[in-house]
A and B are shown apart, each in its own frame.
Chain A
Amino acid sequence: MATSLPNQNVSGQKRPSRLVWGRVIVYALLLFWTFVSLFPVYWTVTTSFKVAADVTQGHLIPWVDFTPQWRGWRSLGLSPETIGQTSTVRDEFLKRFQNSVVISVGASLLAVALGSLAAYGLSRFQYRFGKLGNRDLAFFFLSQLILPPVVLAMPFLVLYRELALLDTRIGIILLYTLTVLPIVIWIMRDQFQSIPIELEEAAFIDGASIWGAFFRIILPIALPGMVAAFILSLVLCWNEYFFAALLTSTNANTLPVMLASQTGSQGVNWWSMAALATAAILPLAIVGILLERYLIKGLTAGAVK
């Protein structure tokens, strides 16, 4: 008893300072990782405003050790003085940008539509297609996630040539829909399962049909989940490179393909690459940051039970 008492006292005195140190370490680690996460982005954005000397001398902070100039953005035709002039690079960029928007939004919408319907069906009704039950159907959909893109790439190349879908937006949309469909079904099934079935039962008693109850009662409640699935799909489709590189050439190129084709040819022409990279990541980074809540909801759906 007597020996343990002073011990406790010591630890009681030590605790505040240990706590302070603990907090310092926690914040130091947090700031360190924030630096790791943000520095490449910061570097890319600032480099797009540098001239060659700033790059070679390793200048980092604008206005302090280098004067920002529109160098990189001018080569893209997006700087203040070139924005009014005609620019082939800008036209090229805008065309790719438009492709990226149409393809990623189109594929995400299609996937959310098809996936939500399927997820609702799987979470509410008992199916029997021949020998296939609900579990088999869910497995059939979710197992598509395992399929590596290479398995599909070359058959699709040959098929799309025959179908005249090579290098078309619609062809890429169909493929992207396929790649995100399992993720959408995964998220939405989780979402629908959390909605009490009594809501529909009440609607049926009021004389609603199955589809009427789905559209009028369930869909509004499930909307946040659908937004989450949509945002996650958008991020994945916007960044997809492999299929786009193989199946598009001049018409339906997306931004990642354009970016990849410039990487090799630019040499030390860093400012224009940096401007291009910034323009390619910025729209989605903004969407992602503003709708981060939904992105997290989508990522974590079904993971925690």
Chain B
Amino acid sequence: MSPAPSVTASAAPVRAAPDPARRQAIGRGLFWAATALFLAAVLVQGLYSAGLTQVGFANWRPVLYAYVIWSVAVCASQVLRHGQRGQRALFVLPAFLFTLAVVVFPTVFGLFIAFSDWNLSSFTGRQFNGIDNFVAMLNDPYYWNAMGNMVIYVLAVLVQYAIAFGLALLLNAEIRARKFFRVAFLLPFMLSPVAVSWMIGKSLMEYRFGPLAQLARFLGWDSPAFFATPWIARASIIALDSWVSIPFIMILLLAGLQAMPKDIMEAARIDGATGWQAFWKITFPLMLPVSVTAIVLRIIFQLKLADIVINTTAGGPGGATDTVTSFIYREYRDRSNVGYGTMLAEFYFVLIVIFLTVLLALINRWMKRFPTT
């Protein structure tokens, strides 16, 4: 006559030792319920924003919440369904679902934008226009000019690498106050590139009163305009960028130097090798793996270069210092041209992937010729 007590009585042991079948069912149910909720949210909001229904939310935010709930449910159902295996999956799932939401979805959505005529400041809204953007891109001299500049900026990484190597060797020498010098050398890396643009680009290099301009006058350069002619402007931007990023390469190389076995250098010295010989025959080959890591990482970051250019020259004079990123930035800021800008960005991304794949393949082949390790 009283089923309630027996239910609670049987519920307690379930909690203590849940039977697998039931847990599986709960897990599966949770997963499908959350999926249904998420799809329903997308559907409701999609129909509403398309103007087909009257019921909906003011914006898409609830769909985001539904995605979060769905993600939590996915994690929970993994544990419920797979036990230990699920608990292990729980380590990577949050990062995976996060990356999926903030990278994969926007990039795919970006492809969709890239093939449309979409200017945020016009009222016509988004219109599919096929490969028009692509054709316009092929005929855009400023874009290809920026692309050419990127080649120069990437090549500048090699110069930065050479300087950084010298600095790392200095720091690795037997010196006093090593920690002070290391902190001093590392400091530029901690500073915001925007602040650096002003500190160096707009004040130290200022034509009238900047100390660097004065120094240049003292050294005999009559009109030290650092951003007036294309090549000097490019060199100035590279100098600014180097100031910020040389410490990064230097620290990697220094770590490599410090990890090098001391006895090899000792043996070289006993054999009578000069410093120069020891460097080219021993240090440099041994440092190749670290060097490659540092250069590749720097190239990856260099391909994103924008802050300094935007804030110092805004791409000028005549696009001579433009990077692809700063060019697209202005394409949006000045013209609100989202569709075209996205096409430029996605194409750039494809080029980067191809370039880095080829670069890494070449490096791998090249490194195999050095049987030092």
A contact residues vs B (CB 8 Å cutoff): 26-27, 29-30, 33-34, 36-38, 40-41, 43-44, 47, 55-56, 58, 60, 114-115, 117-118, 120-122, 125, 127, 137, 140-141, 144-159, 162-165, 174-175, 177-178, 181, 185, 209-211, 214, 235, 238-239, 241-242, 245-246, 255-256, 259-260, 263, 268, 270, 273-274, 277, 280-281, 284-285, 288-289, 292, 295-296, 299-300, 303-305
B192 touches A154 (CB 8 A): no
Residues A210 and B348 in contact, CB atoms below 8 Å apart? no
Nearest 10 interchain pairs by C-beta: A121-B91, A118-B95, A288-B190, A300-B255, A239-B192, A155-B110, A155-B106, A150-B345, A256-B194, A121-B92
Residue B98 is within 8 A (CB to CB) of chain A in the complex: yes
B195 in complex: contacting residue of A56, A140, A256, A292, CB < 8 Å:
A256
Distance of A107 Cα from B31 Cα, bound (Å):
29
Contact A125 B61 (CB under 8 A): no
Q: Determine if B87 and A148 form an interchain contact, defined as CB atoms under 8 angstroms apart.
A: no
Once the chains are docked, how many angstroms separate the CA of A152 from the CA of B114? 12
Instruction: Decide: A30 and B190 in contact? CB cutoff 8 A.
Output: no
User: Given the complex of chains A and B, what is the CA–CA distance between A157 and B119 in angstroms?
Assistant: 12
Q: Name 10 interchain pairs, CB-CB below 8 A, sorted by A.
A: A117-B94, A148-B324, A150-B329, A154-B341, A156-B106, A159-B109, A163-B61, A181-B98, A277-B198, A303-B256
B293 at the interface (CB under 8 A from A): yes
Interface residues of B, dominant DSSP: helix
Is B243 a contact partner of A242 (Cβ separation < 8 A)? no
B345 & A148 in contact (Cβ 8 Å cutoff): yes
Task: Find chain B residues with CB under 8 A from A120 CB.
Answer: 91
Residue of A nearest to B332 (CB): A154
Chain B residues engaging chain A, CB cutoff 8 angstroms: 49, 58-61, 63-64, 84, 87-92, 94-96, 98-99, 102-103, 106-107, 109-110, 113, 120, 166-167, 170-171, 173, 175, 181-200, 202-204, 208-209, 211, 214, 243, 247-248, 251-252, 255-256, 259, 289-290, 293-294, 300, 303-304, 306-307, 310-311, 324-325, 328-329, 332-333, 338, 341-342, 344-346, 348-349, 352-353, 356
> CB distance A299 to B102 under 8 Å?
no
Would you call B349 and A147 a contact (CB within 8 A)? yes
Residues of A within 8 Å of B89, CB to CB, are: 121, 127
Q: A164 near B109 (CB under 8 angstroms)?
A: no
Complex CA gap A226/B231 in Å reads 43
Give bound CA distance, A273 to B204, whole Å: 13
CB within 8 Å for A38 and B199 given contacts A151-B110, A303-B293: no
Q: Which of B170, B195, B252 contacts A29 (CB 8 A)?
A: B170
Answer whether A41 and B325 are a contact pair too, CB < 8 Å, given A141-B95, A154-B113: no
- Chain A residues touching B, majority SS: helix
Taking A141-B95, A158-B109, A211-B87 as known contacts, 6 extra A-B pairs with beta carbons closer than 8 A to each other, sorted by chain A number, are A146-B353, A150-B325, A154-B341, A158-B113, A260-B197, A284-B191
Are B198 and A259 touching (Cβ within 8 A)? yes
A146-B192 CB under 8 A given contacts A37-B185, A299-B252 = no
Q: Is the CB of B199 within 8 A of A277?
A: yes
In the complex, A41 Cα to B189 Cα: how many Å?
A: 12
> Is there contact, CB below 8 Å, between A273 and B95?
no
Enumerate chain A residues within 8 angstroms of B194, measured Cβ to Cβ. Answer: 239, 241, 256, 259-260, 263, 280
Evaluate whether A44 and B199 lie within 8 angstroms (CB atoms) in the complex, with A185-B95, A304-B259 already known.
yes
CB pair B98 A273 closer than 8 Å: no
The reply to whether B107 and A26 form a contact with Cβ atoms under 8 Å apart is no
Q: Write the nearest CB–CB distance from B31 to chain A, whole angstroms.
A: 15
Is B195 a contact of A281 with CB atoms below 8 Å? yes
Shortest distance from the beta carbon of A167 to any chain B beta carbon, whole Å: 13
Q: Which residue of B lies closest to A132 (CB)?
A: B96
B88 partner, pick from A125, A145, A178, beta carbons under 8 A: A125
Cβ of A174: which chain B residues have Cβ within 8 Å of it?
A: 102
Closest to A120 in B: B91
In the complex, chain A residues whose CB is within 8 Å of the CB of B325: 148-150, 242
